[in-house]
Amino acid sequence: MNLKVVNISYIGILILIIFTLLGGCSTVGTTSKADEVSPSSDEVKEVKITEFVLGPGDRVEIMVYRHDNLKRTVLIDASGKINYPLVGDIQANGLSIFQLRDRIRDGLAEYIVDPQVSVGVTAVQSQKVYVIGEVARPGVFSLDKPLSAIEAISSAGGFTLDANDESVMVIRGNRDKPQLIKLDLESAFKKGNITQNIQLRSGDIVYVPSTFIADVSRFSVYLRNILYPILMIEQGIILSPSVVDVFEGQGGKHSGGATIIIERP
């Protein structure tokens, strides 16, 4: 009988210790803001209307409270301007929607007492990426949400049979001094190497070659042929057959080069 009493007491003590430990560890698993991992520099933040920077091609809707006759949906033209009644031309390029709202409100204040203006984005065209080379449907794609290299290629219909998915090039930044980022998307597909599937930024050019690119610096020989059709698209010039060849992955030779910065993710 005494033995049983001792065992019960021992078990009770163990239970008490376990509950004490559990109580003391109840905060395990929580993280403070200081412990959170900051996003990669290659990551594109999802476009938020409150933070979105306007540019040519974007379409905005403007409304003024109790003035339905001033409701307009306008396109930001190639010069970055819009025209609005009573206010005239407004340089909208580079402004947030709040900054554009304030400029319209300040202009209307000369004619309307305390105008209540709201501005919303109805179409995003200024944020875009280009996918060219050995893909089914080369073209320009809107960057109205986060987009990875693989997702962009998928939007372009995927790789052709001649594509080399181990040497996909992302051309980023200033056209006169671009960064070249070489991606091995085969390892991303087969080995789950997510570091190779980077998030794209506005203006990025994804070029899918038909051959393996062993030397990134030598790739600059073809760079101008790749950038040229992009510039022609932006200027609205009809593509010539030789430029179409570049889109189809048949880049020609060029004796010139370009100053480049080589990045490897």
CATH code of the domain covering residue 84? 3.30.1950.10
Q: What is the mean pLDDT of residues 250-264?
A: 38
In a domain, 31, yes or no: no
Last residue of a domain, one of 123, 145, 162: 123
**Higher per-residue pLDDT: 48 or 197:** 197
- Residues 116 and 136 both lie in one domain: no
In a domain, 211, yes or no: yes
In a domain, 157, yes or no: yes
**Higher per-residue pLDDT: 215 or 33:** 215
- List the CATH number of the domain containing 158: 3.10.560.10
In a domain, 155, yes or no: yes
Q: pLDDT per residue over 122-162, tens digit each?
A: 887 778 888 888 898 888 887 877 899 999 999 889 999 99
In a domain, 45, yes or no: no
- Residues 111 and 136 both lie in one domain: no
- Residues 207 and 249 both lie in one domain: yes
- Residues 154 and 226 both lie in one domain: yes
In a domain, 23, yes or no: no
- Residues 80 and 138 both lie in one domain: no
- Residues 157 and 235 both lie in one domain: yes
Number of domains present in the structure of the chain: 2
Last residue of a domain, one of 93, 123, 153: 123
- Residues 137 and 248 both lie in one domain: yes
In a domain, 145, yes or no: yes
| Other CB atoms within 10 Å distance of the CB of residue 143 | 21
**Confidence band (pLDDT; 50, 70, 90) for 257?**
very low
- Residues 141 and 251 both lie in one domain: yes
Distance between CA atoms of residues 111 and 141, nearest Å: 41
- Residues 93 and 135 both lie in one domain: no
- The answer, yes or no, to whether residue 32 has pLDDT greater than 80, is no
Least confident of 8-17, 92-101, 229-238: 8-17
- Residues 85 and 171 both lie in one domain: no
In a domain, 79, yes or no: yes
Instruction: Give the residue numbers spanning the domain of 102.
Output: 59-123
Last residue of a domain, one of 94, 123, 152: 123
Residue with tokens 């052709």: 160
- Residues 73 and 145 both lie in one domain: no
pLDDT of residue 167: 93
Distance between CA atoms of residues 30 and 224, nearest Å: 51
- Residues 223 and 145 both lie in one domain: yes
